[in-house]
Amino acid sequence: MQVYKAPLKDYKFLIKDFLNSSTTDLILNNSDIDQSDLEMILDEAAKFCEEELLPINQSSDSEGCIFNKGKVATPKGFIKAYKNFVENGWQGISVEKKYGGQNLPYFVNMFLDEMISSANMSFGLYPGLTSNAIDAIEKSASNEIKDLYLPKLSTGEWTGTMNLTEPQCGTDLGLIKTMASPQANGSYKITGTKIFITCGEHDLSENIIHLVLAKTPNSPEGIKGISMFVVPKIIPDEEGNLGEKNSLECSSIEKKMGINASPTCVMHYNEAKGWLVGDLHKGMKAMFIMMNGARLMVGVQGLGMAEISYQSALYYAKERLQGRSLKETKNPDKPADPILVHPEIRKNLLKIKTLTEGIRGLMAWTGLQVDISRIEKDKFKKQHSDDWIALMTPILKSFSTEVGCEASSLAVQIYGGHGYIRDHGIEQLVRDARIAPIYEGTNGIQALDLVGRKMPMHTGRLLKSFFHVVKEYLEKNSFNYNLSEFIPPLAKSFGRLQQITSFIALKGLNDPDEAAGPATDYLKMFSLVAIGYVWTQYAEISYNKGKEDPEGFYKAKIESGKYYMSKILPETGSLMSSILSGAKYYNEFDDKYFDSGFAL
């Protein structure tokens, strides 16, 4: 069965102990709340996710969305849940107050997104995409567009989407064919077809606001000719009152492997009215604001799927009686011991647990940098935060979603045959999690972004935002006796990462394929080291809190960290060996050999 309770203790640990307390206090004060307010908000969010979203997760997956003559009906329970979601103000929690939001910190929104993703990933796509649309409009649009659209989006009365992909192009957006023809009144007529548009049509909100990439007549070739437009499903007047329906339609929804309670739409724009967002031919700049936010959101989805997979698998491992402990019988009064006693089960659970908790810390720290960047006046401190965010976005999007997939697969393995059948809802987690490494830029693209763009950017300045911090931490704690099982493995893996970074950078100067080839291995290696750094900090905090630990929370952190440092972090060694062997074994593999053994 799907089991989930929001990890509130972990959130409170991150806020009180892990994140810089003086900085979080400053950010909370900027939002007019304190620690107790924040805890109450998280408690209420947990209640909503556990009591309203989780109970309809399996049923909504089975029912799916229903398409009929251009209309999409969401599964039973979604309209009520969404109504409660928006009435309680969750949509606009991180939006500025002048647009009807609550101006809460971004890292708090990350916690909310994780809870929603764990409880009902499909549901989370509706408000998640709206949040990203809000961000793009807020940072790029004219005041007129902001004043018209942001108040309704912030309350959730209207929802938002992003329209990038077309039948002939996905990642290579320079190939788009959708056209925007300028009109005398300052609007544009948008004509074209977009595919894979998540939540492009549904019955949860009274209006849907599409952000659409298109080219204008005689625009430059490739991505330099792309502009972004706001295209409402129903055209509002200047006061926000709904008027005539725009000339756009959903022609079908996809039949998918997972996230079945969210519609993935084919959208046709038939000279639909749209308005320019930002500057002409600067659409990619505006859209990247939305996409980068979406990539962090997808990383949070991976984290959320890993958490519910862990909790569900742990529940089953405690309940399922099968075999006896090889060392000694644990339940002599019962016919068998719970499968939790078996080493393989324990290993799998600890792998999910330590990766999930480590990613959560890295995610929270990155969210904090978003908040610092928003309020910081010192340009160098702001730059450091921006560099950290840019560096960590592809890492968190990719590695977190890979962990979400692995965690759900391990949960099925722990459930055995009961995990493979639909009744328990565990196979749904596998299907839902699998989209996350694909959309918002596949994980392979994220790895290429890390190696091809982030690594050389500003002569390596982005890498320094991480490397210098870890180097200083290792030097500061080199003689910390408490961390004797943490500092040496972290230092060893960090040294490997530094060496491989130089190796790839030098190889790439002569042959770009030699840099691109090991990109995914490099991203994983970077991720493992970054999480090792997080776990070492967890351990340092937990040792210092040892006397304040009646429930064993900090002791559990220390022991979990030891598992990560000794059993997972050493994978950096095999990754290093693989990268050093070079890319020739696949780059120089003759194409005809792929077909050997069968005829095409």
Residue 174 is predicted with a pLDDT of: 86
Q: What is the torsion angle, in degrees rounded to the nearest 10, for the CA atoms of residue 467, residue 473, residue 475 and residue 478?
A: -130
Rounded distance between C-alpha atoms, residue 588 and residue 372, angstroms: 46
Rounded distance between C-alpha atoms, residue 360 and residue 535, angstroms: 11
φ and ψ of 120, to 5 deg:
-170, 90
* Residue in the block written with tokens 């070739």: 221
Residue 22 is predicted with a pLDDT of: 79
Residue 332 is predicted with a pLDDT of: 86
DSSP string of 373-388, one letter each residue: HHH---HHHHHHHHHH
**Mutual angle of helices 461-476 and 519-544, in 10-degree steps:** 40
User: Per residue of the chain (600 residues), what is the pLDDT tens digit?
Assistant: 999 999 999 999 999 999 987 788 889 888 888 889 999 999 999 999 999 999 999 999 999 999 999 999 999 999 999 999 999 999 999 999 999 999 999 999 999 999 999 999 999 999 999 999 999 999 999 999 999 999 999 999 999 999 999 999 888 888 999 999 999 999 999 999 999 999 999 999 999 999 999 999 999 999 899 999 999 999 999 999 999 999 999 999 999 999 999 999 999 999 999 999 999 999 988 888 888 889 999 999 999 999 999 999 999 999 999 888 888 888 888 899 999 999 999 999 999 999 999 999 999 999 999 999 999 999 999 999 999 999 999 999 999 999 999 999 999 999 999 999 999 999 999 999 999 999 999 999 999 999 999 999 999 999 999 999 999 999 999 999 999 999 999 999 999 999 999 999 998 888 889 899 999 999 999 999 999 999 999 999 999 997 888 899 999 999 999 999 999 999 999 999 999 999 999 999 999 899 887 765
φ and ψ of 422, to 5 deg:
-75, -25
* Residue in the block written with tokens 């957006």: 173
Q: Which CATH class is domain 159-287?
A: mainly beta
Query: In CATH, which superfamily holds the domain spanning 8-140?
Result: Acyl-CoA dehydrogenase/oxidase, N-terminal domain (1.10.540.10)
Domain ranges within the chain, ordered by starting residue? 8-140, 159-287, 459-586
User: Comparing C-alpha atoms, which of 197, 194, 153, 189 is closest to residue 276?
Assistant: 189
Helix (H) / strand (E) element for 251: namely strand 248-253
CA distances from 247 to 139, 187, 200, 201 (A): 27, 14, 14, 14
Please give the share of the chain, as a percent, with pLDDT higher than 70.
100
Which residues touch 502 (CB under 8 Å, ≥6 apart)? none
Which residues touch 72 (CB under 8 Å, ≥6 apart)? 65, 66, 201, 202, 203, 250, 253, 263, 265
104, 93 in Cβ contact below 8 A? yes
Query: Would you tell me how many other CB atoms lie within 10 Å of the CB of residue 546?
Result: 11
**Mutual angle of helices 343-375 and 283-319, in 10-degree steps:** 150
Which residues touch 376 (CB under 8 Å, ≥6 apart)? 382, 385
**Mutual angle of helices 106-140 and 426-433, in 10-degree steps:** 40
Which tokens hold the place of 444?
């392979």
Rounded distance between C-alpha atoms, residue 255 and residue 468, angstroms: 47
* Cα-Cα-Cα-Cα dihedral sign, residues 511, 517, 520, 524: negative
Instruction: Please list, residue by residue across 525-540, b when 16 or more beta carbons sit within 10 angstroms of its beta carbon and e when fewer do.
Output: bbbbbbbbbbbbbbbb
Amino acid residing at 69: K
CA 76 to chain centroid, in Å, comes to 26
CA 293 to chain centroid, in Å, comes to 9
Mark out the alpha helices in 166-267 (DSSP H runs): none
Residue 600 is predicted with a pLDDT of: 57
What confidence tens digit (pLDDT) does each residue in 494-512 have? 999 999 999 999 988 888 8
Residue 288 is predicted with a pLDDT of: 83
Query: Would you tell me how many other CB atoms lie within 10 Å of the CB of residue 144?
Result: 10
Which tokens hold the place of 160?
């938002």
User: Comparing C-alpha atoms, which of 138, 188, 193 is closest to residue 165?
Assistant: 193
Instruction: Give the angle 18-474-492 at the CA atoms, nearest 5°.
Output: 115
What confidence tens digit (pLDDT) does each residue in 323-352 have? 888 888 888 888 999 999 999 999 999 999
* Burial of 595: CB neighbours in 10 Å, binned 0-12, 13-18, 19+: exposed
554, 475 in Cβ contact below 8 A? no
Q: What is the pTM of this model?
A: 0.96
Instruction: Give the angle 446-451-457 at the CA atoms, nearest 5°.
Output: 110
Residue 449 is predicted with a pLDDT of: 95
Mark out the alpha helices in 416-459 (DSSP H runs): 417-420, 426-433, 443-449
Q: Point out the residues that are catalytic.
A: 440
252, 164 in Cβ contact below 8 A? no
